[in-house]
Structure 1
Amino acid sequence: MPDIVLAHDYLVQVGGAERVVAEWAAGFGARRIVTLAFRPEATFEEFRGLDVQATLPRALAGQVERLLPALPSIAARTRVSGGDVALVSTSGWAHRFRFEIPHVVYVHSPARWLYAADDYRLRLSPLRRAGLAVSTPLLRRGDAEAMGRASAIVSNSAVTQQRMRDAYGLDSVVVHPPVEPVSTDAAVPARDLPDAFAVVVARDRGYKNVPLAAAAARAAGLPIVIVGSGSESLDDPAQGMHGLGRVTDAELAWLYRRATVVVGAGREDFGLTVLEAALEGTPAATVAAGGYLETVQPGVSGFHAASATADDLATAIRRARDLDPEASRDWARGFSRDVHLSRLARVIEEVVQRA
């Protein structure tokens, strides 16, 4: 196995992309990660024992997205060297680093702030939205030039693969993210929850469409547990909404196991959470869009809604709750860590051989 250096946008949250990088570190034995910012207390514990080289000082790590106007130039000055090859996890920044070794770029999504601006700009002030709109053409040119320097490009789903063609005119191979149980232990969250409930795992992002998930669960006669940073603001037990905020992996495992169904209502590039839930025997009800078309097998691990409406998603919830838990587990095992690492290793080895 070549000496692999990892690179990632920034390690300041607990998310699907960060979990993928943690799996790489363990699976490939990589010990060094280059990133823009690192908040060890806010991301996966696995990173604390690694050599994490962050460009931004710790005092700015929690404000990294507020530095958007300066981030392209900061990323371009972030040097990646040593080792035989870099394995790059990006949804906007890490592919812009200054690589002095061959590098394989694994794309979770083309930069939302450039290519899905309607989703991203919802969280910006009017002044910052206007500034981003004006600068987008120039920023896209620099972004495309950086992506074009990759030794190889890998997309996390067929959806992302098509978005890469649309955004950059570049082809890529698809390697789905690794999916493993989030925890071998299960811990009951420290609050009362209903005996039967739906669950949605989504940080506070507009494109996650939590209101639709909540409305669909209500229409299906189920309260909903909402997990993820910012979800505590949605807590309203009287309306059947239980916003827990961030939870531990053991608590998430308990929620997955006890939930009647996991709901996916957003625009996902892959849809990792429905597979994590499937490993625990819990089926999914999702919109028929994006990565869910790849991560949910209708009639086996869940159902897609006929349309992105609360009524149709509620119908999918009712149908999904009758599915065989073991069939869901079998489906999700096809996305295992070993399958992911084996396919990605072949891409890396080809790049190293060409170098």
Structure 2
Amino acid sequence: MTELVLAHDYLVQVGGAERVVAEWAAGFGATQIVALAYRPEKTFEAFRDLEVRASIPVAMSGQVERMLPALPAIAARTTVSGGDVALASSSGWAHRFRYEMPHVVYVHSPARWLYAADDYRLRLSRVRRAGLALSTPVLRRGDAEAMARATAVVANSEVTRERIRAAYGLDSIVVHPPVEPVATDAAPPTRDLPDGFAVVVARDRGYKNVRLAVDAAREAGLAIVAIGAGSEAIDDPKSGVHGLGRVSDAELCWVYRHASVVLGAGREDFGLTVLEAALEGTPAATIAAGGYLETVRPGVSGVYATSGTASDLAEAIGFARALDPAVVREWGQRFRRDAHVARLDRLIHEVVQRA
């Protein structure tokens, strides 16, 4: 039996990439994961059942994103061992680890701080932006060399496949992420919410475009619930904006089930949340770009806005709300974990046989 070791950039948040790794642990029965940093209280509970090996001490793990200048060196010294093959989840770091066995790299996106700098640098100070700009050529060379060492490269979407080709000159195989209901039992949030509302699930970062989702919901005459780290900053219940911050999976499930529509306004590589909502019968209204072109089927599971403006997204909200929840749910079922694991398992066995 092939022993699989998992790897991930760092386990310090609740995000789509972390949820994918949690599904891998369940789907493959993996017991080991290697990461740069781990904060059990900040990420999915599923990781507490695994043997997590982190390179950065717990006391410093909360500052991992501030450690950018040192992370390439730390990643290069992070050893992945103890198995027959490794499956790495990377948005910029895990493919740089030192692998002592064949390894498959599953790319959520080439590192935004190197290849989508305008998005990433919005969050940095002027000094840090200048420093990153100066070091980018050297960092890109090291990044490309690390990716080229992968035994196989997998993209989470066609969008990401094109970005991998542009960044590294490598071809990759597309395997959509696994999507499961976020919880089996739903629990209402501690705060009362209105009967009809839209929901956006995203950390409040520039490329996520949460503000556009808020403006569109308002224009459509809907209250909006924003979920994700940083959404507390836009909390304004009197104006119909409910920024809940991080919530439990059971609470997120409740919100998905009771929302009139889920919004996608950011430049996503895949767009996991619209499928999580689809499994609960909730349609999507999104911009017609990025991963949403693969995760939303117009007229079936959602509606695309005709442009990236609040008014056009508001119009899409109106059309999406009329879709049949049963048909929406059926679309979401196409992306369940079993199909994802079966495809990756075949690829992993091919990698082991070639090694």
TM-score by length of 2: 0.99
1:302 alignment partner in structure 2 = 302
Q: Which moved more, 1:291-300 or 1:186-195?
A: 186-195
Partner letter of residue 255 of structure 1?
V
What displacement does 1:185 show? 0.6
What displacement does 1:204 show? 1.8
Counterpart-to-counterpart distance in 2, 1:229 and 1:303: 26
- Percent identity, please: 76
What displacement does 1:27 show? 1.1
1:256 alignment partner in structure 2 = 256
1:103 aligns with 2:100: no
What displacement does 1:181 show? 0.4
Q: Deviations over 1:131-182 (max 9, x none)?
A: 0000000000000000000000000000000000011110000000000100
Counterpart-to-counterpart distance in 2, 1:240 and 1:188: 18
1:88 aligns with 2:91: no
1:338 aligns with 2:321: no
1:119 aligns with 2:141: no
RMSD, matched Cα: 0.6
Partner letter of residue 46 of structure 1?
A
TM-score by length of 1: 0.99
* Count of residue correspondences: 355
Q: Deviations over 1:300-325 (max 9, x none)?
A: 00000000001110110000000000
1:176 alignment partner in structure 2 = 176
Counterpart-to-counterpart distance in 2, 1:134 and 1:329: 48
Q: Deviations over 1:86-108 (max 9, x none)?
A: 00000000000011110000000
What displacement does 1:53 show? 0.3
Partner letter of residue 109 of structure 1?
S
2:197 alignment partner in structure 1 = 197
2:161 alignment partner in structure 1 = 161
Q: Deviations over 1:37-72 (max 9, x none)?
A: 000011111111211000000001000010000000
Q: Matches of residues 131-280 of structure 1 in structure 2 within 5 Å?
A: 131-280=131-280
- Which segments of 5 or more consecutive residues in structure 2 lack a partner in the other structure? none
Counterpart-to-counterpart distance in 2, 1:295 and 1:42: 27
1:325 aligns with 2:313: no
Counterpart-to-counterpart distance in 1, 2:32 and 2:197: 41
Counterpart-to-counterpart distance in 2, 1:10 and 1:316: 36
1:288 alignment partner in structure 2 = 288
What displacement does 1:291 show? 0.2
- Name the SS of the counterpart of 1:30 in structure 2: coil
What displacement does 1:81 show? 1.4
Partner letter of residue 21 of structure 1?
V
1:129 aligns with 2:129: yes
1:64 aligns with 2:64: yes
What displacement does 1:192 show? 1.7
What displacement does 1:238 show? 1.9
Counterpart-to-counterpart distance in 2, 1:29 and 1:235: 39
- Name the SS of the counterpart of 2:282 in structure 1: coil
Partner letter of residue 279 of structure 2?
L
Counterpart-to-counterpart distance in 2, 1:29 and 1:301: 31
What displacement does 1:335 show? 0.3
What displacement does 1:279 show? 0.4
Counterpart-to-counterpart distance in 1, 2:204 and 2:225: 14
Q: Deviations over 1:111-130 (max 9, x none)?
A: 00000001111111111100
What displacement does 1:239 show? 1.8
- Name the SS of the counterpart of 2:339 in structure 1: helix
Counterpart-to-counterpart distance in 2, 1:110 and 1:347: 21
- Name the SS of the counterpart of 1:62 in structure 2: helix
- Name the SS of the counterpart of 2:263 in structure 1: strand
Counterpart-to-counterpart distance in 2, 1:339 and 1:49: 24
What displacement does 1:257 show? 0.4
- Name the SS of the counterpart of 2:92 in structure 1: coil
Partner letter of residue 277 of structure 1?
A
Counterpart-to-counterpart distance in 1, 2:86 and 2:199: 36
1:37 alignment partner in structure 2 = 37
Counterpart-to-counterpart distance in 1, 2:122 and 2:185: 37
1:16 aligns with 2:28: no
Counterpart-to-counterpart distance in 2, 1:3 and 1:256: 36
Partner letter of residue 329 of structure 1?
R
Partner letter of residue 58 of structure 1?
V
- Which segments of 5 or more consecutive residues in structure 1 lack a partner in the other structure? none
Counterpart-to-counterpart distance in 1, 2:241 and 2:196: 13
